[in-house]
């Protein structure tokens, strides 16, 4: 099967865009025109022109020449113009399209070789996370979900792709299921409020046969980590049911949030990796909301020019002698976009990162 490109599409010319107070500012080094190349993304193209790439609907949306702005192909020429004092990108319809091979059939007709349109970002690497749940909201009954029993290799601790294993329960034979380690409860660090139960997707299985009233054989289609006895099964969304259409716009949080987890269990992540943040539907978040990522300022123990040390590396004595505790200024290092919303948390993708990102970093309006 060909790789699936899940594109976060721009709004079409007929879709109203809510104009924000942000200034549509062009980069000082912006080009006057650009030829789309294979491997480009819409975020990258907008970032060549705008200081704030997430404001791209205002660069493209009112442009009547691009009725479907996501239908942009390698070889297309984009030209910067101005409409009522605002910058707009338009398609240059000259015949000199560098990336397309044109076959002329007659003076009246021509056929262009089909190519894949330019996506906002290729999400094929994390498409399983859009189909899967990564948080169990309070009130969801995970305790009665089917769970892994094992296989007939009775010495096997872990199970993986290609095996047939057995589960306790009666999953639907016509559905695909995610296999999850059920983890700790996410909590608000300031208030202690429970935000939802952590889920780690470790595999995908397909039920194939009900052995008796409460045991089912399943085939392991994929494994991302070791599948263990006791892991739970939850239905996955079909690829055709995924809502992959997002209109990016600046998020609006009355109070900042934090990155609380990294689904891939890495310590640090970067561009196009996913994170969990501690804000969700109750804060009126929606897919497409863009927020800034802020690295907190480092804490220092300053006992003079020759005795400066980071707080985590200091001794008890150095801390006691510290007469002027110092915290450096926090710095914004990137942007993330919400792509899936739970009640009190959300899944987001790091769209831009000028340094590594880790759990604990702050999230604020861009």
The CATH number covering residue 346 comes to 2.40.10.410
Among 236, 262, 287, identify where a domain stops. Answer: 236
Counted domains in the chain = 3
246 domain-assigned: no
- Give the dihedral sign, CA 275/276/277/279: positive
Asked whether residue 1 falls in the same domain as residue 128, the answer is yes
Q: What six digits make up the tokens of 97?
A: 């399209």
Q: What is the pLDDT of residue 105?
A: 47
Asked whether residue 230 falls in the same domain as residue 149, the answer is yes
Q: What is the pLDDT of residue 153?
A: 73
Among 210, 236, 262, identify where a domain stops. Answer: 236
For residue 92, how many C-alpha atoms fall within 13 Å in the half-sphere facing its CB? 17
- pLDDT (tens place) for every residue of the chain, 366 residues total: 444 443 444 333 323 334 444 668 899 999 999 998 887 878 888 889 998 888 887 887 655 555 565 677 888 889 888 888 888 888 887 654 554 544 444 444 444 555 666 666 666 666 777 888 889 887 778 888 999 998 877 666 677 788 899 999 999 999 999 999 999 899 988 888 999 999 999 999 999 998 888 999 999 998 888 899 999 999 988 766 666 567 788 999 988 899 999 987 788 899 888 999 999 999 999 988 999 999 998 887 777 777 777 777 777 777 777 777 788 888 999 999 999 999 999 999 999 899 999 999 999 999
Asked whether residue 125 falls in the same domain as residue 147, the answer is no
Terminal Cα distance for the chain, rounded: 38
For residue 346, how many C-alpha atoms fall within 13 Å in the half-sphere facing its CB? 26
- Three-state DSSP state, 235: strand
Provide the β-strand partners of residue 227. Answer: 159
What is the rounded distance in angstroms from the CA atom of residue 207 to the CA atom of residue 216? 7
245 domain-assigned: no
Domain range spanning residue 147? 133-236
341 domain-assigned: yes
144 domain-assigned: yes
**Sequence-distant contacts of 37-42: CB under 8 A, at least 24 apart:** 37/74, 37/99, 38/74, 38/99, 40/74, 40/118, 41/118, 41/119, 41/120, 41/121, 41/122, 42/10, 42/69, 42/70, 42/72, 42/118, 42/119, 42/120, 42/121
DSSP for residue 239: G
Q: What is the pLDDT of residue 104?
A: 47
For residue 258, how many C-alpha atoms fall within 13 Å in the half-sphere facing its CB? 13
Asked whether residue 122 falls in the same domain as residue 191, the answer is no
88 domain-assigned: yes
Q: What is the pLDDT of residue 215?
A: 94
Contact 69, 78 (CB under 8 A): no
Asked whether residue 180 falls in the same domain as residue 104, the answer is no
Asked whether residue 166 falls in the same domain as residue 181, the answer is yes
244 domain-assigned: no
CB atoms within 10 A of CB 24: 17
Q: What is the largest CA-CA distance in the chain?
A: 86
Q: What is the pLDDT of residue 196?
A: 92
Q: What six digits make up the tokens of 324?
A: 């002027």
Among 73, 108, 132, identify where a domain stops. Answer: 132
242 domain-assigned: no
Asked whether residue 142 falls in the same domain as residue 128, the answer is no
Q: Please, what is the Cα angle at 133 between 127 and 134, to 5 degrees? A: 95
98 domain-assigned: yes
Asked whether residue 37 falls in the same domain as residue 90, the answer is yes
Considering the entire predicted model, what is its pTM? 0.76
Asked whether residue 113 falls in the same domain as residue 224, the answer is no
Asked whether residue 258 falls in the same domain as residue 352, the answer is yes
For residue 191, how many C-alpha atoms fall within 13 Å in the half-sphere facing its CB? 6
Asked whether residue 8 falls in the same domain as residue 109, the answer is yes
Contact 82, 95 (CB under 8 A): no
Asked whether residue 255 falls in the same domain as residue 267, the answer is yes
């Amino acid at each position: 099967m060909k790789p699936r490109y899940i594109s976060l599409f721009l709004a079409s010319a007929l879709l109203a865009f809510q104009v924000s107070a942000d200034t549509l500012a062009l980069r000082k080094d912006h080009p006057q025109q650009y030829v789309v190349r294979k491997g480009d993304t819409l975020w990258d193209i907008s970032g060549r022109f705008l200081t704030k790439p997430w404001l791209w609907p205002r660069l493209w949306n009112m442009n009547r020449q691009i009725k479907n702005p996501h239908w942009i192909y390698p070889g297309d020429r984009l030209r910067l113009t101005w409409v009522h004092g605002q910058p707009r990108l338009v398609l240059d319809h000259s015949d000199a399209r560098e990336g397309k091979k044109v076959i002329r059939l007659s003076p009246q007709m021509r056929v262009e070789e089909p190519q894949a349109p330019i996506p906002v970002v290729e999400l094929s690497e994390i498409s399983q996370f859009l189909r899967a749940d990564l948080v169990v909201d309070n009130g969801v009954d995970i305790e009665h979900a089917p769970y892994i029993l094992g296989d007939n290799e009775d010495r096997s601790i872990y199970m993986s792709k290609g095996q047939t294993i057995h589960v306790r329960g009666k999953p639907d034979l016509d559905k695909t299921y995610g296999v999850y380690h059920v983890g700790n409860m996410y909590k608000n660090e300031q208030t202690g409020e429970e935000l939802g139960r952590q889920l780690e997707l470790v595999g995908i299985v397909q039920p194939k046969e009900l052995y008796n009233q409460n045991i089912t054989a399943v085939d392991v289609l994929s494994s991302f980590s070791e599948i263990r006895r006791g892991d739970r099964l939850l239905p996955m969304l079909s690829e055709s049911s995924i809502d992959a259409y997002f209109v990016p716009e600046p998020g609006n949080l009355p109070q900042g949030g934090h990155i609380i987890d990294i689904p891939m269990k890495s310590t640090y992540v970067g561009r196009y990796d996913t994170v969990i943040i501690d804000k969700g539907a109750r804060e009126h978040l929606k897919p497409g909301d863009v927020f800034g990522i802020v690295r907190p300022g480092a804490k220092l123990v300053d006992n003079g020019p020759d005795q400066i040390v980071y707080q985590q590396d200091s001794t008890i004595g150095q801390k006691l002698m510290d007469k002027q505790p110092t915290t450096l200024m926090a710095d914004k290092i990137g942007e993330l976009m919400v792509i899936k919303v739970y009640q009190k948390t959300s899944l987001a993708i790091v769209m831009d990162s000028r340094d590594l990102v880790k759990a604990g970093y702050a999230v604020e309006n861009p």
